Structure 1
Amino acid sequence: MLMYIEYFFVFMFLSGIWVFVSKRKHLLLMLLSLEFIVISLFMGLMIILKFYNYENFFTMFYLTFSVCEGALGLSILVSMIRTHGNDYFSSFNIMQC
């Protein structure tokens, strides 16, 4: 039973990586796929910690850093939309900054 759950989380992680790579021109979809990867890793971490009877205190640190990552990504998204009008990387010129 545990083997199937591990395969499920590996599938979730790899599908999040695939979406991240395939939607690389759109910043909002990249941020959503990063959050999906973070959630899949969190769920896998919870299952592993429960299986080995460890403390779940480490998950609070993980969630704190993932919230900081999400807030940083959203602030970059808002800054990019304010300066360039959209969140497509094709309209973003690095020489303009």
Structure 2
Amino acid sequence: MAMYFILFTYMFFMGLMSFCLKRKHFLLMLMSLEFVVISLFMNLFYFLSFFNYEQYFVMIFLTMSVCEGALGLSILVSMIRTHGNDYFQTFSILW
């Protein structure tokens, strides 16, 4: 159990590091957020199965993460349709 916890914690922090390093490109930020969500999901799944808790919360977490991914993709599509790309440096706040 401790090996899985260390592995998924390492995955979580690598996802956060890639999220911070790829802050200029919106699609890469979404992919790193999904990687963080997958690592949290696996960590939660192994934690709950280790202690023989009910797995219903895992399904609620998975549903919310799918909604988060769909919302991020819809924002990405609308941003590409209006601006033509998904780089944050081309946007102006005063525009």
Task: Tell me the TM-score normalised to structure 2 length.
Answer: 0.97
Q: Deviations over 1:41-65 (max 9, x none)?
A: 0000000000110010111110110
Matched residue type, 2:68: E
Matched residue type, 2:92: N
How far residue 72 of structure 1 moved from its aligned partner, in angstroms, is: 0.5
Partner of 2:81: 82
Matched, 1:17 2:1: no
Structure 1 distance, partners of 2:77, 2:9, is 32
Any idea what SS the aligned residue of 2:52 has?
coil
Aligned residues: 95
Structure 2 distance, partners of 1:95, 1:84, is 15
Partner of 1:94: 93
Structure 1 distance, partners of 2:47, 2:60, is 16
The unaligned stretches of length 5 or more in structure 2 are none
**Aligned alpha-carbon RMSD (Å):** 0.6
Percent identity reads 62
The unaligned stretches of length 5 or more in structure 1 are none
Task: Tell me the TM-score normalised to structure 1 length.
Answer: 0.95
Runs of 4+ in 1 over 6 A off after TM superposition: none
Q: Deviations over 1:62-93 (max 9, x none)?
A: 01100110011001100110111100000111
Matched residue type, 2:61: Y
